[in-house]
């Protein structure tokens, strides 16, 4: 009968709408799950204390940038001088605050031209992926070191040693890290920044 056909049509429309609603719900859940997974991956690549890239995350992102950046660039390693003494003398919370303030200085100077990462402990790295002249780099390093000296301690201020490795062509990030680390070691031995 006609009433049965209309009821059957309504039932089919309701069933179709139900299927569409379930499909949409599954799509939204999958989208949410994907975004949450990306967020967790992003957070896993951040250093919990300073909120910059962790060593693993920094190396991963640098490997991508090295394949497509303009040259010349620079790879920098810096560490906080006397950091163990700061921790021993003033406590770990004070040491943590110094690290956060050093990262603020790094961001203030290098965030527009480079990637910043914490390698561990009191050691940080920057991959400058925007072409800079040597003079521009020296100006940025001077601004960074001056900003770090503005971090107060009860018996003075904070200082950093810096090692710089020029990047003229794509190279494995581990090689650049090793070269900059050697420059940092030389800077510490000579008692000055390089």
Check whether 194 has a pLDDT greater than 70: no
In sequence order, the β-bridge partners of residue 124 are: 78, 118
Check whether 42 has a pLDDT greater than 80: no
Check whether 192 has a pLDDT greater than 60: no
Q: How far apart are CA 143 and CA 121, in angstroms?
A: 23
SS3 readout for 114-154: EEEEEEECCEEEEEECCCCCHHHHHHHHHHHHHHHHCCEEC
Phi–psi pair at 163, nearest 5 degrees:
-115, 135
Check whether 38 has a pLDDT greater than 60: yes
Look up residue 106 and give its two tokens.
Answer: 């790094």
Nearest to 66 by CA among 167, 137, 175: 167
Do the strands 73-80 and 123-128 form a parallel or antiparallel pair, or are they unpaired?
antiparallel
Q: What is the pLDDT of residues 53-69, one digit of tens each?
A: 999 999 999 999 998 88
Mean pLDDT, rounded, of the chain: 93
Phi–psi pair at 102, nearest 5 degrees:
-60, -40
What residue spans of the chain are helical by DSSP H? Answer: 2-44, 55-68, 83-90, 92-110, 134-149, 173-190
Look up residue 74 and give its two tokens.
Answer: 């620079």
In sequence order, the β-bridge partners of residue 125 are: 77, 117
């Amino acid at each position: 009968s006609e009433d049965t056909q209309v009821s059957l049509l309504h039932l089919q429309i309701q069933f179709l709408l139900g299927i569409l609603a379930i499909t949409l719900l599954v799509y939204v859940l999958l989208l949410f799950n994907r975004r949450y997974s990306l967020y967790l991956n992003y957070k896993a690549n951040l250093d919990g204390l300073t909120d910059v890239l962790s060593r693993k995350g920094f190396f991963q992102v640098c490997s991508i940038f090295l394949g497509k950046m303009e040259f010349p660039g620079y790879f920098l390693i810096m560490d906080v001088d006397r950091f163990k003494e700061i921790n021993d003398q003033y406590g770990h919370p004070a040491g943590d605050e110094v690290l956060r303030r050093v990262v603020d200085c790094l961001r203030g100077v290098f965030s527009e031209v480079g990637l910043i990462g914490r390698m561990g402990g009191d050691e940080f790295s920057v991959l400058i992926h925007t072409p800079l002249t040597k003079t521009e780099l020296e100006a940025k390093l001077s601004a960074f070191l001056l900003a770090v000296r503005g971090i107060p301690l009860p018996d003075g201020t904070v200082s950093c040693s810096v090692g710089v490795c020029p990047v003229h062509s794509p190279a494995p990030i581990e090689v650049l890290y090793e070269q900059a680390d050697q420059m940092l070691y030389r800077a510490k031995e000579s008692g000055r920044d390089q």
